[in-house]
Amino acid sequence: MAGTLVFAEATEDGKLNPVTAELCGAAQKLGGDITVALLGKGVEGLAAAAGAYGAKKVIVVDDAQLETYLGDTYIQPAERIAKEVGADTILFAQTMMGRDLAPRLAARLGTAVAMDCTALTSEGGKMHAERPCFGGAAKARYSFTGTPAMATVRVKALEPAEAGASSAEVVKQDANIDAGKVRSKVTDRRKEKAEGVRLEDAKVVVSGGRGLGGPEGFQPLETLAGILGGAVGASRAVCDLGWYPVAAQVGLTGKVVTPDLYIAVGISGASQHMAGISSVKNIASVNKDPDAPIFKASRWAVVADAKEFVPAFIEEVKKVKAG
């Protein structure tokens, strides 16, 4: 089948992951029929929503065994659906699921996958996938020698499709998981940090790096984020040092954030950090080093010591807020 198979996802609170619209937007531009596959537990009710972005067909596998993502279980229906649909192109999001599942599925389909793509184009009817590499310092564009061409797409990097009335045919399938092929199991899962505004949803993110001087430097950032109704992020360097929870890590190996305003304090701007904020239009950065690479990507640059600047800035923000 000429066309695209999109692996949609549900969120933990049972909604359709908005990245589905972004994947379908990309699939629309590539052309051809769109089939959406949705795997999980309690996801049947999301089929219409999943089909609202131009899909011709939605395949739903709603099974208790798919409640928690596990590669060995998810790969089974995913492989079956991919072979049955026979699409030219298969798209995943670069999420925990996409990261883990797409390379395995590519190997099973005898093809390759380009990971974490930020642009997909159609050249002579075939997908070309563009993606950052070298920690974001360069970009590479790939074509595929065989079919299907596969890509995972960076969250919030592509224009979402508009939701319309769903005319998609909904097909329910059983998971049919062969327990003999499940060689792994999840025995425990714990959240690290759940209070406050989610980093991925925040309109304002205040992030700290090594320039804070120590873990205590995050306290004023939390105060500032609180006043601005935002969330606190951190560089990989300080997460590795144990100054701040890993869940707050922004960058290539952490979270991709897309706030309206990103305030970077004491972050030099290693390209792997910049990979997490590549879609942010408004960056204000504070660094002691006038040559910090982050300044080049910033709309506002403040050369200052975080310890002196942040308390003063908190007072100024309070004044502005008070009108």
Partner 1 sequence: MPHIVCLVKQVPDPETPASQFKVDESAKKVIPAPGIQPTRSQFDTIGVEAALRIKDKLPDTTITVMSLGPDSFRDSIKHCLAMGADEGVHVNDPAINDGDHWQTAEVLAAAIKKLGAFDLIIAGRQAVDWDMGVVGSTIAEILGVPVVTIAKDVQMAGGKVTVERVLLDGFETVEASTPAVVTVSNELGEPRYPQLRQIMQAAKKEVKPWTLADIGISAPAPRVTLEALFIPDTSVATEVIEGDTAQEKAQKLAQRLHEAKLI
Q: Interface residues for partner 1 in 253-292 (CB under 8 A)?
A: 253, 255, 260-261, 271-272, 274, 278, 282-284
Closest contact distance (angstroms) between CB of 311 and partner 1 is 8
Token digits of residue 80: 């079956």
Q: Which is nearer to partner 1, 174 or 260 (CB)?
A: 260
- The secondary structure of 84-117 as a DSSP string is HH--SEEEEESSHHHHHHHHHHHHHTT--EEEEE
* Rounded Cα–Cα distance for residues 2 and 145 (Å): 16
Residue count, binding to partner 1 (CB under 8 A)? 89
Single-letter code of the amino acid located at 217: G
- Inter-residue contact 115 to 131 (CB < 8 Å): yes
Quick note: the x/- pattern for partner 1 over 218-247, rule CB under 8 A, is ----------x-------x--xx-----xx
| Residue 2 touching partner 1 (CB under 8 A) | no
Q: Which of 298, 246, 236, 278 is nearest to 116 (CA)?
A: 278
Token digits of residue 151: 């890509």
Other CB atoms within a 10 A radius of the CB of residue 3 amount to 20
Residues 198-217 that bind partner 1 (CB under 8 A): 204
Cα 172 to Cα 58, 61, 92, 285: the distances in Å are: 8, 6, 20, 50
Cα 147 to Cα 121, 128, 159: the distances in Å are: 16, 12, 25
- Please select the residue that binds partner 1; options are 64, 185, 195, 322, rule is CB under 8 A: 185
SS3 319: helix
- Please select the residue that binds partner 1; options are 81, 113, 212, 264, rule is CB under 8 A: 113
- Please select the residue that binds partner 1; options are 103, 160, 196, 226, rule is CB under 8 A: 103
Residues 43-82 that bind partner 1 (CB under 8 A): 70-72
Q: Which is nearer to partner 1, 5 or 274 (CB)?
A: 274
State residue 276 phi and psi, 5-degree precision: -85, -10
- Please select the residue that binds partner 1; options are 64, 165, 180, 192, rule is CB under 8 A: 192
Q: Which is nearer to partner 1, 52 or 265 (CB)?
A: 265
* Rounded Cα–Cα distance for residues 197 and 192 (Å): 14
| Residue 322 touching partner 1 (CB under 8 A) | no
Other CB atoms within a 10 A radius of the CB of residue 150 amount to 25
Q: Which is nearer to partner 1, 172 or 296 (CB)?
A: 296
Stretch that binds partner 1, among 58-66, 84-92, 95-103, 170-178 (CB under 8 A): 95-103
Stretch that binds partner 1, among 26-34, 36-44, 206-214, 293-301 (CB under 8 A): 293-301
Closest contact distance (angstroms) between CB of 172 and partner 1 is 28
Q: Which is nearer to partner 1, 64 or 320 (CB)?
A: 320
